[in-house]
Structure 1
Amino acid sequence: MNGEFRERVDAALGDFLARQEPRWPRGAPYDVLGLLKRFVMGGGKRLRPAFCYQGWRGAGGSDADEVIVAAGALELFHAFALIHDDIIDGSALRRGLPSVHEQFPARSPHFGRNAALLCGDLCAAWAEQMFGECGLPPERVLRAHAEFSRMRTEVIAGQYLDLAAAGDSVDAALTVVRMKGARYTVTRPLRIGARLAGGDDVLCAALAAFGDPLGDAFQLRDDVLGVFGDPGITGKPVLDDLREGKPTVLMALTRAAAGPAQRGRLAALFGDPALDESGAAELRGIIVDTGALAGVEQLIRAGRDEALAALDAIPIPGEVRKELAELASATVDRAR
């Protein structure tokens, strides 16, 4: 994804957010508006808009500002998901800065959390508004909106499964991966873009064959970085997932391969809210020693390879194929 594309997405987001200020209800605190502007504009990989744009181009769409606006709406939906995810996980940092719920004054024990919930809801509403106002033909927007709606449902259902710790087995954890993060990162944005350009069911099925395994690989990489990443690069703590006892594929593989002594240490350390760096280092050692880290890396490579093989079969222009291959690499081979 080149810098020019990101600048165009950021410009569309900036224009949309600027238009919200004169519409802001009288008496409502402006600090909320400013905080959300900083959060939305303050970082992020812009992967979802990029996949949406390439879905549009793959379906024969020509470059247009209107599709950049529609793609930018996905970044507002992403902001909603991040804000709520940080509340649920109790994460204090996002993109190297305090999470949204940490940025509110402590007027009451739950004020920051409750205010951030409303901020997330507002981002979801804005995503809907920005998408609907993108300027493309209404019949195309309506067709793409069906994909948008499925994306929202999948993310929320996946978040619930994650919250309910329904990922204790490898298969269950992979289901959470697919629903919570994988599809809404790659497959749905691709298909939204394709539908906006009039893409048919055959093309959308082919895009899913590429997007699903790549999205899985993306989310698995995210889970690895959540435990083994460099906070200075990822902008997120590396203790949160371990303290929370997050039911990832990485930990499901670890439990499945652990010996009796290792299972005892997992029970004592994993999910301990007071876990310190020494305990985290011990957990990382168990993850490595059981072969779980190597197993996840193998799954990541397999997902990338499956996606690239599927990409070769999609009936899209060669330029789009090249861009999607580069996006695949950026999605999987990353440090943040």
Structure 2
Amino acid sequence: MPDPSAPLSPAFTGAVSDAIADFLDRQAAILASMGTETEPLLRIARDLAAGGKRLRPAFCYWGYVAAAGSPPDDLRAGLLRAAASLDLLHASALVHDDVMDASDLRRGRPAAHRQFQQLHSDLGFLGDPEAFGRSGAILAGDLLLIWSMQMLHDSGIGLGVLDRGLPVLEVMRTEVTAGQFLDVVSQAQDRFSYRPAEMADDQKRLQRALDEASRVVEYKSARYTVRRPLQFGAALGGADDQLQQRLGAFGSPIGRAFQYRDDLLGVFGDSQLTGKPSGDDLREGKRTVLVAQALAGADSAGRKLLETQIGNPDLDADGIGQLQEVIIASGAREAVEKMIDNDHTEALAALAGADITDDGLTALTALASAAVRREF
């Protein structure tokens, strides 16, 4: 059995990677039979699925352990494959997210749509390379979603066990997709514009913007990253409604804290660790909780700079540095760090009262720390 004191050990993450690689190997023959043109679909899927933190599979696996204890030998391999399928779902979401954000990089490599765009140029295809790149990436993301479902159903854990978890997973797919749409709508609305003559109303509007950003975080990220994978694994282990509620009370704040850490890394992270240019979230114009906090706390000059420069794709290192200084001076960085600490504390308090196994408590406590105390 994997070690609960090291729930993201190389042995565990390696087993997840092996399960995904084995599944993709089986898809290779199907794609090859259709023609060599499909090769980029598999290559991009392999590249994306080979990396990542493996948090979703880990919360799933250790959710099972929390509810039912160590899986029996005849179930362990199937449970790992079922848990690993969540990272194919995640890879699908990343491909689509990068298209919507027009991101250039993902995990230190060109984003999928940029790879397809380059393929178009290299092969001298007709038409618009960017449109081809977007089309290829959308289809690659769709294929990864289909494969995540196939991998789950081919995991071998048995229909009786699988049926216990499917309702949770179906809700998770709906939440992350609709949550992404909430994000798209939020980015398109004028919730942040600064109007000095209407300071009182402006502060209320900024508070609403903060509340809205928090709602998007809950449905786009927190439930999809922690809460639902955890509850899915627990459901496979036969968790009752009371335990599921307790695990939800743990999972949502840890998921929120995970995203808040992501927001900080998107502005202040080391590009060598994150695989994306430093400050890239500012160039992409992401209206995160960090940005909402900065707008609420900055002086008029700082707010004007944030409003005019966030979303400027031509921001250079000096421009990023100026925005970083405004965000720090506004108290936003400190405020988000406090939000992370508060959510972490809330989650651990919920976990302390849960009727779970000792191994589950050990593993989930360690996973909570890994989710919020990370550098990439």
Segments of structure 2 that go 5 or more residues without pairing to the other structure are 1-7, 192-208
Shift of residue 157 of structure 1?
1.4
**Which position in structure 1 is the counterpart of 2:200?**
none
Aligned runs of 1:88-107 on 2, under 5 Å? 88-104=100-116, 105-106=119-120, 107=125
1:62 aligns with 2:74: no
State the TM-score, normalizing by the size of structure 2: 0.86
Render the CA deviation track for 1:212-241: whole Å, top value 9, x for unaligned.
000000000000000000010111123331
Q: Which amino acid aligns with 1:32?
A: L
SS in 1 for 2:305: helix
**Which position in structure 1 is the counterpart of 2:289?**
249
Q: Which amino acid aligns with 2:98?
A: D
- Counterpart pick for 1:286 among 322, 326, 331: 326
Q: Which amino acid aligns with 2:186?
A: A
Q: For 2:293 and 2:107, how far apart are their aligned partners in 1?
A: 28
- Counterpart pick for 1:10 among 1, 17, 22: 17
Aligned runs of 1:149-164 on 2, under 5 Å? 149-164=170-185
Q: For 1:118 and 1:4, how far apart are their aligned partners in 2?
A: 32
SS in 2 for 1:175: helix
Shift of residue 29 of structure 1?
2.0
Q: Which amino acid aligns with 2:169?
A: F
User: 107-116 or 73-82, which moves further after superposition?
Assistant: 107-116
RMSD: 1.4
**Structure 1 segments of 4 or more deviating over 6 A?**
none
Q: For 1:201 and 1:141, how far apart are their aligned partners in 2?
A: 17
Q: Which amino acid aligns with 1:121?
A: D
1:203 aligns with 2:248: no
**Which position in structure 2 is the counterpart of 1:321?**
361
The count of corresponding residues between Structure 1 and Structure 2 is 335
Q: For 2:114 and 2:304, how far apart are their aligned partners in 1?
A: 34
Q: Which amino acid aligns with 1:164?
A: V
Shift of residue 116 of structure 1?
0.7
Shift of residue 61 of structure 1?
4.7
User: 240-249 or 76-85, which moves further after superposition?
Assistant: 240-249
**Which position in structure 1 is the counterpart of 2:47?**
38
Q: Which amino acid aligns with 1:204?
A: Q
Q: Which amino acid aligns with 1:62?
A: S
Q: For 2:30 and 2:310, how far apart are their aligned partners in 1?
A: 47
SS in 1 for 2:29: coil
Segments of structure 1 that go 5 or more residues without pairing to the other structure are none
Render the CA deviation track for 1:186-236: whole Å, top value 9, x for unaligned.
110011101112211111111101100000000000000000000101111
1:123 aligns with 2:163: no
User: 56-65 or 5-14, which moves further after superposition?
Assistant: 56-65
Q: Which amino acid aligns with 2:289?
A: V
Using the aligned pairs only, state the percent identity. Answer: 46
Q: For 2:15 and 2:149, how far apart are their aligned partners in 1?
A: 19
Q: Which amino acid aligns with 2:24?
A: L
Q: For 1:218 and 1:77, how far apart are their aligned partners in 2?
A: 18
Q: For 2:319 and 2:345, how far apart are their aligned partners in 1?
A: 35
Render the CA deviation track for 1:13-51: whole Å, top value 9, x for unaligned.
11111111222252352232122112211x110000000
- Counterpart pick for 1:311 among 338, 344, 351: 351
Question: Which is higher, the Rg of structure 1 or of structure 2?
Answer: 2
User: 190-199 or 24-33, which moves further after superposition?
Assistant: 24-33
Render the CA deviation track for 1:227-271: whole Å, top value 9, x for unaligned.
000010111123331122211000001111122222221222112
Which one has a larger percent helix, Structure 1 or Structure 2? 2
State the TM-score, normalizing by the size of structure 1: 0.96
Q: Which amino acid aligns with 1:205?
A: Q
- Contact 1:239–1:275 (8 Å) recurs in 2: no
